[in-house]
């Protein structure tokens, strides 16, 4: 009988089961009322009295072991089933959440693409600039208010190094190096020492365009402006030009577009005028051309510049300029773009 018990013990140690039914079969085989262990229990009464103690202990050990082993098999089967359920290979894959482009980036790219279709190429330059490229070469008088501490962030005084206040400095750098024809667009970040509010920030983004060649006229500028306005705000968009002043252009103008919110009828956004200002432009002042080594008797050119934030506000009606630099996901998530 001891041999039989030992045989069963080693059998039980090596039990394996991959299904619930297998485990149930094992339970019936060993532990049910007619199972092998119960049969041995029944035979126990025939064991000689002097062996009862030893056989009894062995039998109890066997019963306990069988019970434990079957419980273990059940547990490991349940665990592995749980694992299987968490991977459902037939399920549709969860979409990967992509970030969105910043609204400023979307509009900057849109503007650059429009100009690219007109044959312009992108030019970039440093944000930390010297006085010559930001002011002097562009015909700013020594006492021009834009040079004042109020507007410009100065990094060094002598020689004067500043954070550029406009991207016109890139135009200067290109004109100094390149022979006309020049047809460039300069997108970039600019800095002005202004109090931060919902409509002003100490940095913002500009796009400027410059076209220099023989016989470039104001008519060419106006045609380009109309094309850009229609591409940006729709085919119904009208433009109007108002005389203005900039040190680096002569004549200079500011361009309004028919209000894209009310369609020109008048609304609070356009202050009931039906028009909104979007950019400044003009014919490049001959002094600027000469400063950059371009013969102003042979070449003429036009330049225009706009704030990207301004255009973005018009397209998306963002009321507070500060939203653009606060990195609030709830704001940024709203801008989806094919770019």
Indicate whether 270 belongs to the interface with Zn ion (CB under 5 A).
Answer: yes
Q: Minimum CB separation from Zn ion for residue 277, in Å?
A: 12
CB 210 within 8 A of CB 303: yes
Stretch that binds Zn ion, among 147-155, 248-256, 269-277, 305-313 (CB under 5 A): 269-277
Sheet with 203-213, edge to edge strand ranges: 121-122, 182-191, 203-213, 300-307, 275-284, 249-258, 239-246
Distances (CA, A) of 37 to 28, 46, 54, 62, 328: 10, 15, 16, 8, 70
For Zn ion, the binding residue among 23, 59, 253, 259 (CB under 5 A) is 259
**Taking the complex as a whole, how short is the minimal distance between the CB of residue 262 and Zn ion, in angstroms?**
3
Task: Compute the least distance from the CB of residue 232 to Zn ion, in Å.
Answer: 16
Of 234, 288, 230, 284, nearest in space to 255 by CA: 230
By CB under 5 A, is residue 314 in contact with Zn ion? no
Q: Which stretch binds Zn ion (CB under 5 A): 32-40, 96-104, 253-261, 315-323?
A: 253-261
Nearer of residues 9 and 267 to Zn ion, judged by Cβ = 267
CA atoms within 13 A on the CB side of 96: 2
Contact 110, 116 (CB under 8 A): no
Helix (H) or strand (E) holding 91: none
Residue 270 C-beta: closest distance to Zn ion, Å? 3
d(CA 310, CA 279): 9
Count of residues in contact with Zn ion, rule CB under 5 A: 6
- Candidates 85-93, 190-198, 266-274, 302-310; binding stretch for Zn ion (CB under 5 A): 266-274
Nearer to Zn ion, 141 or 261 (CB): 261
Q: Minimum Å distance from CB 260 to Zn ion?
A: 8
State whether residue 196 is helix, strand or coil. coil
Residue 262 makes contact with Zn ion by CB under 5 A: yes
**Residue 267 lies near Zn ion (rule: CB under 5 A):** yes
Instruction: With contacts defined by CB under 5 A, name the span among 36-44, 205-213, 220-228, 251-259 that binds Zn ion.
Output: 251-259
Query: Residue 17 or 259: which CB sits closer to Zn ion?
Result: 259
CB of 314 to Zn ion, least distance (A): 10
Q: How far is the CB of 227 from Zn ion (least distance, A)?
A: 22
> Counting contacts by CB under 5 A, is residue 278 touching Zn ion?
no
The closest residue (CB) to Zn ion is 259
Per CB under 5 A, does 277 bind Zn ion?
no
Contacts of 200 (CB under 8 A, 6+ apart): 194, 321
Which residue's CB is nearer to Zn ion, number 251 or number 266? 266
- Between CA 134 and CA 169 the distance in angstroms is 5
- What is the torsion angle, in degrees rounded to the nearest 10, for the CA atoms of residue 96, residue 97, residue 98 and residue 104? 170
3-state secondary structure of 16: coil
Strands of 128-130's sheet, edge to edge? 128-130, 161-163, 154-156
Instruction: Calculate helix-pair angle for 52-86, 20-31, nearest 10 degrees.
Output: 170
Please state the closest distance from residue 316 (CB atom) to Zn ion, in A. 15
Q: From residue 103 to residue 122, what is the string marking binding to Zn ion with x (rule CB under 5 A)?
A: --------------------
Distance in angstroms between the alpha carbons of the first and the last residue of the chain: 83
Contacts of 16 (CB under 8 A, 6+ apart): 73
Closer residue to Zn ion in complex, CB, 319/330: 319
Q: Is the separation of the CB atoms in 244 and 224 below 8 Å?
A: no
Q: Is 238 in the site for Zn ion (CB under 5 A)?
A: no
Stretch that binds Zn ion, among 2-10, 190-198, 207-215, 265-273 (CB under 5 A): 265-273
**Which residues of the chain form contacts with Zn ion (CB under 5 A)?**
259, 261-262, 267, 269-270
């Amino acid at each position: 009988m001891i041999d039989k018990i030992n045989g069963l013990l080693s059998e039980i140690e090596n039990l394996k089961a991959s299904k619930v039914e297998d485990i149930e079969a094992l339970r019936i085989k060993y532990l049910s009322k007619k199972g092998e262990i119960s049969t041995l229990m029944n035979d126990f009464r025939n064991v000689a009295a002097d062996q009862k103690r030893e056989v009894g202990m062995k039998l109890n050990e066997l019963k306990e072991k069988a019970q434990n082993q079957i419980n273990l098999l059940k547990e490991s089967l349940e665990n592995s089933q749980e694992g299987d359920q968490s991977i459902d290979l037939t399920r549709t894959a969860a979409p990967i959440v992509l970030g969105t482009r910043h609204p400023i980036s979307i509009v900057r790219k849109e503007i650059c693409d429009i100009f690219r279709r007109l044959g312009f190429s992108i030019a970039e330059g440093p944000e930390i600039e010297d006085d010559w490229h930001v002011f002097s070469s562009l015909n700013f008088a020594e006492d021009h208010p834009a040079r004042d501490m109020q507007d410009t962030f100065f990094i060094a005084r002598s020689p004067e190094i500043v954070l550029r206040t406009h991207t016109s400095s890139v135009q200067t750098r290109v004109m100094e190096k390149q022979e006309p024809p020049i047809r460039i667009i300069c997108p970039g970040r600019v800095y002005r020492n202004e109090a931060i509010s919902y409509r002003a920030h100490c940095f913002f983004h500009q796009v400027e365009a410059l076209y220099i060649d023989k016989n470039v006229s104001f008519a060419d500028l106006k045609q380009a402006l109309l094309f850009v306005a229609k591409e940006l705000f729709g085919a119904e968009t009208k433009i109007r030009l108002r005389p203005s002043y900039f040190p680096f252009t002569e004549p200079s103008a500011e361009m309004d577009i028919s209000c894209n919110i009310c369609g020109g009828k008048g609304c609070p956004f356009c202050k009931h005028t039906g028009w909104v200002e979007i950019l400044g432009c003009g014919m490049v002042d001959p002094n600027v051309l000469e400063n950059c080594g371009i013969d102003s008797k042979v070449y003429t050119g036009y330049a225009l510049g706009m704030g990207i934030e301004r255009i973005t506000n018009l397209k998306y009606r963002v009321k507070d300029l500060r939203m653009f630099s606060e990195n609030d996901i709830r704001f940024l998530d709203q801008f989806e773009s094919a770019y």
